Amino acid sequence: MNFTHPFLDGDGDDKLHEECGVFGIIGAPDAAAACALGLHALQHRGQEAVGITSFDGTEFFTRRGLGHVADNFSSAESIAELPGQMAGGHVRYSTTGGSGMRNVQPLYADLASGGFAVAHNGNISNAMQLKQELVSKGAIFQSTSDTEVIIHLVATSRYPTMLDKLTDALRLVEGAYALVVMTPRGMAACRDPMGIRPLVMGKLGDAVVFASETVALDVVGAEFTRQVEPGEFIEVDFDGTIRSHRPFGNTPARPCIFEHVYFSRPDSIFNKRSVYESRKNIGMELAREMPCDADLVVPVPDSGVPAAIGYAQESGIPFELGIIRSHYVGRTFIQPSDGARHAGVKRKHNANRKIVEGKRIVLIDDSIVRGTTSLKIVQMMRDAGAKEVHFRVASPPTGHGCYYGVDTPERSKLLAGRMDLEAMREFIQADSLAFVSIDGLYRAVGLEGRDKACPQYCDACFTGEYPTPLTDLAGRKDKDAQLSLPVNKVA
């Protein structure tokens, strides 16, 4: 199994991780097969577990597994277990091993109104509080997932229709969510009022498709229709009827700007913009803001490549693959005691010695989280004979944790959370270090700059300005413990 981020990953241990991807399709004769393919295209959003639920007009069917989509859903047998014209699925970047399969989504429940399945990307920041209230009324939770709170709120809602029940439930919920919901009546997709997490809509013949990113539409052969708007609630019936609702009225959108920086695949369209172009633009901004006298622009592969192309084009310095990335990474190996300095990082990245020897190089990476990999990469360049190593980062310093469905280290482990620029430079031992400015980042995504009064994106990881209250925050880091009363550990 390969746990690396597919497209843009520098080092598995030193990146923020998007926690989930969702996909749904209704009206297709082989919905589960399309769903598996779509989730495969979203694999970079969650590589540790995957599940698909389908509905055949009468019954719901669910199949879950640990590992990649291809490990669990590439056989004809696995797809045959999921009959029907509606299917929804989920890939997950699992934070803990202990909680096991119970937390693998879609979650499902038999409600009095019939079956109810949900796949959720995001994080509910008052889940613990809501769970305690529900349990005190006799609700029995089967997972430690915040998503299950939504199901119980729907189950106990007194509103008559599913739309009303779900609206009723989501009104109590605080945080970020992009949901794909299935009931015997059809599929629903909704996005939190600020649209923090992405969700798009497409068309595949007569079928309607929802996905976290447009790349999943491409891969199944669907046409991109539009994004699900922040606060929008879309219902699709089996006869193809589509209804859009705005139960929360209009609030200013705050989509996650880090989707442009790193999370989304470069061939996706996010918030109406090409992610690849955004990244190239960031590289160009960076070249303008933080120029550098050097012989080569070298990307930290693969996540630094688009920004490096931008930097090279803008600066006129040649773009070269001074670091080669192995595709075979996976597990840790037993280290031989002799000589294998930095073998861990070399297993993944190896200096292209003949290229960098005797050269002044500008390294381009998308972001710095803990800084540990950046340090190793700089050293690797020096060991290979680079004369100077300048480090340029295609995002502002990441100094704050995310509570909206992204796995971030504690602030005390974020390099920018504990050091100033010069200290960071010393830590990674670069000759110079520079980040793109927050306004430069906003310019790169087509705006004039950041609107301080009302920022156009959620950029809390850079600015610490969280767009929602964070009720459960205290215990955030150990979410499982926080959300549960005495927990039953299931192997």
- Dihedral sign of CA atoms 247, 251, 256, 259 in order: positive
- Any known ligand binding at 402? yes
| Nearest residue (CB) to a copy of itself, 143 versus 408 | 143
CB 82, min distance to a copy of itself, A = 9
**Tokens of residue 384, six digits:** 């290979």
Q: Does 313 bind a copy of itself (CB under 8 A)?
A: yes
| Nearest residue (CB) to a copy of itself, 70 versus 242 | 70
- Any known ligand binding at 256? yes
CB–CB of 124/171 below 8 Å? no
Instruction: Give, for 207, the enclosing helix (H) or strand (E).
Output: strand 207-211
Of 67-75, 191-199, 226-234, 425-433, which part binds a copy of itself (CB under 8 A)? 67-75
Of 138-146, 190-198, 388-396, 455-463, which part binds a copy of itself (CB under 8 A)? 138-146
Instruction: Give, for 92, the enclosing helix (H) or strand (E).
Output: strand 86-92
Q: How many CB atoms sit inside 10 A of residue 368's CB? A: 26
Does the active-site annotation cover 35?
no
- Any known ligand binding at 292? no
**Tokens of residue 277, six digits:** 């172009």
| Nearest residue (CB) to a copy of itself, 174 versus 314 | 314
Q: Which of residues 146-165 bind a copy of itself (CB under 8 A)?
A: 151-152, 155-156
Q: Which of residues 343-402 bind a copy of itself (CB under 8 A)?
A: 343, 346-347, 350-355
CB 292, min distance to a copy of itself, A = 19
Q: Which of residues 95-124 bind a copy of itself (CB under 8 A)?
A: 101, 108-112, 114-115, 117
Q: Which of residues 315-334 bind a copy of itself (CB under 8 A)?
A: 318-321, 324, 326-334
- Any known ligand binding at 366? yes
| Nearest residue (CB) to a copy of itself, 328 versus 412 | 328
Identify residue 218 by its one-letter amino acid code.
D
- Any known ligand binding at 303? yes
Residue 481 has φ and ψ, to the nearest 5°, of -60, -45
DSSP 209-225: EEESSHHHHHHHTPEEE
Candidate list 20, 35, 190, 292, residue with the active-site label: 20
DSSP 342-408: THHHHHHEEE-HHHHTT-EEEEEES--SSSHHHHHHHHHHHHTT-SEEEEEESS----S---SSEE-
What is the three-class DSSP state of 451?
coil
Q: Which of residues 231-290 bind a copy of itself (CB under 8 A)?
A: 265-267, 269, 274, 276-277
In order of 283, 376, 457, the CA distances from 373 in angstroms are: 20, 5, 28
CB 138, min distance to a copy of itself, A = 4
Identify residue 408 by its one-letter amino acid code.
T
208: closest CA among 334, 34, 24? 24
Q: Does 475 bind a copy of itself (CB under 8 A)?
A: no
Q: Which of residues 28-57 bind a copy of itself (CB under 8 A)?
A: 28-31, 33-34, 36-37, 40-41, 43-44, 53
- Any known ligand binding at 461? yes
| Nearest residue (CB) to a copy of itself, 249 versus 486 | 486
Catalytic residues, which ones? 20
Q: Residues within the annotated binding site?
A: 256, 303, 365-366, 402, 458, 461
